[in-house]
Amino acid sequence: MIKVCSICSKEFAAKRKDAKYCGNTCKVAAKRAKKRPTKEQLKAPKQMNLCEYCGAETLNKHYCNRTCQQKATEQRHKANATKCFHQTRFGMYLLSNLRRAGTVETLQVVDSLMGLRPFKVADFYDLLSLYKGLQTANGIGNRKEIRYHLCHISPVAGKEHVGLLNDSNLLIAAASLNQSLGAFEPEHHQRIARSELSEGFKIAEGDSDAVILQKANRFLGGSLIAFVKEVKLTPPQRSAKAFEGYSPKQTAEVLETELVRMNFTHNDPMHDDLWGFQEKLSKGKFHGMFEQDDYVSYVSESVLKQDL
């Protein structure tokens, strides 16, 4: 079948009835011609759009410039962060402790000036920093068993009191010690009496993650959502690379930081006796507690530094 090419006007042997072009060259030229604007289109006034971020007029389809595009992306990520916070490691830790306490009022701090006050954004950052230290001490998935816990000094599920979930009531301690103490309640000021808890902020057994987070945010006056949007945590990824690069020295550094944070000094006589240190801890004089091998390694390293 002989046909005439629509582009070059040459005759060609067509294999199909609907063939219009003699070859690929003319076919590509036809596609480009369709995309090329006509004279009428070039003369016509260009359509203006509104930037989806700032609302300014622009010839672009969505955003007036790259800055608005980046800000819109950040805004979208922050919005998504609130949806997946309960799936992040820190979010799961927070929800687990709120459920154990049975109330969102555990998110408070005993301030020397203000007394008992709700969490601010900065308090969440302090708690997150301590939680990351716990992950580092445990090797973040490198060890088969969890050797350290983020322990409450005043227990979270005490009979008469609820221990507060703040960095002044928490320390990184040996898991075995934390489990042996159970619900032992020392005389410690970072707690709230159960008789003082509000019914409106208690957590029922069937409350979902979303309901608990809403109660917490309402109790804190919006500081929880403000923190979530600001920190932009993401759910954990299953990747072998995430567990690479761990060394026992990282655990030693976390333990050393805990000693300093809890005001534990080398002048303390309990520094020379690990089991005496355990006894001191169990009686309510909480400074920190580590397993014997790490403790000895830390002491040896400290002595070595002093000798050098």
Express each pLDDT in 104-117 by its tens digit. 999 999 887 778 89
Buried b vs exposed e over 237-261: b needs ≥16 C-beta within 10 Å?
eeeeeeeeeeeeebbbebbbbbbeb
What pLDDT sits at residue 304?
37
Element (H, E) at 173: strand 170-174
Higher pLDDT residue, 5 or 176? 5
pLDDT in tens, 248-298: 667 767 766 776 676 654 444 334 433 344 444 444 443 444 444 444 444
pLDDT tens profile 125-161: 999 999 998 888 777 655 555 677 888 878 888 788 8
Contact 97, 155 (CB under 8 A): no
Average pLDDT over residues 119-123: 95
Kindly report, residue by residue over 41-62, the tens digit of the pLDDT: 667 777 889 999 998 999 898 9
Q: Is the pLDDT of residue 228 over 60?
A: yes
Residues in contact with 64: Cβ distance below 8 Å, sequence separation at least 6, in sequence order: 51, 53, 54, 56, 57, 58
Q: Return the percentage of the chain with pLDDT > 90, whole number.
A: 27
The answer, as to whether pTM is greater than 0.75, is: no
Report domain extents, the chain. Answer: 2-43, 45-87, 88-296
Looking at residue 235, the DSSP 8-state letter turns out to be -
Q: Per-residue pLDDT for 182 more than 70?
A: no
- Sorted by sequence, the CB contacts under 8 Å of residue 55 that are 6+ apart come out as none
What gap in Å lies between CA 2 and CA 196, rounded to an integer?
95
Q: What is the pLDDT of residue 177?
A: 65
First to last CA, the chain: 96
pLDDT, average across residues 245-250: 62
Condensed to tens digits (0 to 9), the pLDDT of residues 19-36 reads: 888 989 999 988 888 777
Residue 102 has pLDDT above 90, yes or no: yes
Tokens of residue 143, six digits: 């060890």
